[in-house]
Structure 1
C-alpha cells in the first residue's frame, strides 16, 4: 500500500496569513491534537523577525514543545541564513526556505533577486549540514505569479538545478498563487525531476480556484509522496495578492484514505481538531467540504487495509 505523507502547514502558512495572533497555548493544543490524530509532520512556524510577522514570534517555543511529541517531524520555514541559525538552535528536525521562481515575488517576499537567493541557499545549506538538520527548498510561484503572470517552466528547471547545486536536499513545487492545473502539475514535475531527480518529493498546493485536490491527484500519479495542507484551509501568502486558501487537510485526508492510500491519520480525530481553531480564532472562516458533509457511509470499508491491520 502506497504511503503518503500529509504535512500540516497551518500553524505557519495558515496563521501568518491572518491578522490575529493565536495564543501559544492554543497552538500547542492544535499541534498536540493533530499529532494524536496521526499527523506525522507539522510545520510549526517560521523564523522571521517578529516585527514583520508577530504571529510567528513564539516559533522557538513551539519547536521545543513539538520536539516532546514522539514520532513527530518538526519543521519550520526560514527566510534566510539568520533564520536558519535560529531554527537549528531551536532544535528543528527540518527546515525549508522559499525560493520564488518569480523574481518580482522574490523581491517582495524576501527582498532578494535570484542570484542573491542562490547565495542565501548555499549559506543555509552549510548551516543545516553543520547542525544535522534536513534542508528543503520550496520552489514558490512555480506555476504562476499574481504579479508577473506566467512563469517560464524552463526558468523553474534552471533555478531548481542551481538550488540543488547550492546544497538543497529536497524540493517542493509550490502553487503559491493557486494558478496550477493538473496538466501543468504533471508536466512541471517531469521537467523538474529531469533536473533534480528524486529530490522532488512534495507539492504545496492552494485551492484558490478550486483545483487543489485535482492537482494533488495529478501529483500522486507522477509519484509525489508528500502533500502539504492546512487544517480548515487556513492560509495564503501575504505578499501575493489574491493567493488565498491552502489545500484543506481534512478533505485531502478523506480523499487519500478513501483511495486506500496509507496516511496513518484518523479522520474522525482530525475533524475534532477544528474545534480548537474555532475557539481560538472566533469568526475566522474555516473551509472544507468533509467537515460539513461528513465521510461517506461506507468510508471505513474503503480504507484498505485498516490502519490497525497495516
Structure 2
C-alpha cells in the first residue's frame, strides 16, 4: 500500500468535491475516515469514485426554480457506520434553487458510547464538505438583507409572518425623544426599542433604548445576556461601570459627559448612575433585537418563588435576618 498514493487521491477528490462536485460529498467523507491505515478495499472505493467522475463529466446537478428563497435540508443516519456504529448527519442550504453550503457531521464516538455519556457529543468533529466562495457569500448576505426580513409573530423561535404582509409600520417607532417619568424608587426609566416595539427588527441583531435619569437616579446593576451595549450621554452626567467575570471581578468605571460613549461587553454586570443635580438622558444601542435584561438585586432577592435564605445567607456570608429583610423589600421592576 505504500506505493499507492491513496491519501493524495482522496485529497484531490476533496478539492473536486468542494469546488464543483457536491454529489460525491458523502462517498469522499466515508473514504477520508481511513487515511491513517488504508487497505485494498479502500483503494478500490477511491477507484470507483474516479470512474464515476469520469463517466459523468458532462453531467451536473440541477436544482429547479429561481425564486429567491433560502431553504435548508437535513438528514441523520443513526449508527449507520458498520465498522464503528458511528452516526452521520448533514445539512444542505439552497438559495434560488442553487446549492450554497453544506456540511457533514461525523461523530467521533460510537452511538453506544454517546447514548451512555452525552459528554462525548462535545468531542465530535465536523467535516466540512462544501462552502460558499467569498463573492457568493457576500452576494447572499446582500440579498438576504434586502429580501429576507422576518416580521415576527412571536419572539424567539416562533414562526415569522409572511413578508408579503409586511407594512411600513413593522419598521417604525415614534416617541424616542419624549422625556419619561422617573418618579419611582430608583429614579430612572428605560424606553426600549427592540423587536417587541418594532417587529421588523426580528433576526437583524440590533436594538435601541432611551434611558431617563432623575437627579441621583440609578439604572441598577444588571446584565444583558444576549447583547453588548454601547451608550452615549445626551444630557447631564453619568457615573457608569461594569465588572468583569470571575475570578478577577475587575471594576471599570468612568464619568460620562454629553457626547461621551462607553461600552458594556455582553453578559457583564453593569450600571449607570446620575451623579448630578439635574436630569440626565442617554441613548443605548444593543447588539441584539431582543437583548434581555437581568437586574441583579431583583433576580437574587425578588425571585418567585424565593431563593432559600440558607442559600443566600451562605452565598453573601450574612445572617439570615439580613436576607429575610432584603427579600421582604419591594423590588422595583426596573428596566
Question: What range is the shorter-chain TM-score in?
Answer: under 0.3
Give the TM-score taking structure 2 as reference length: 0.24
* Structure with the higher strand share, 1 or 2: 2
Structure having the higher Rg: 2
Give the TM-score taking structure 1 as reference length: 0.26
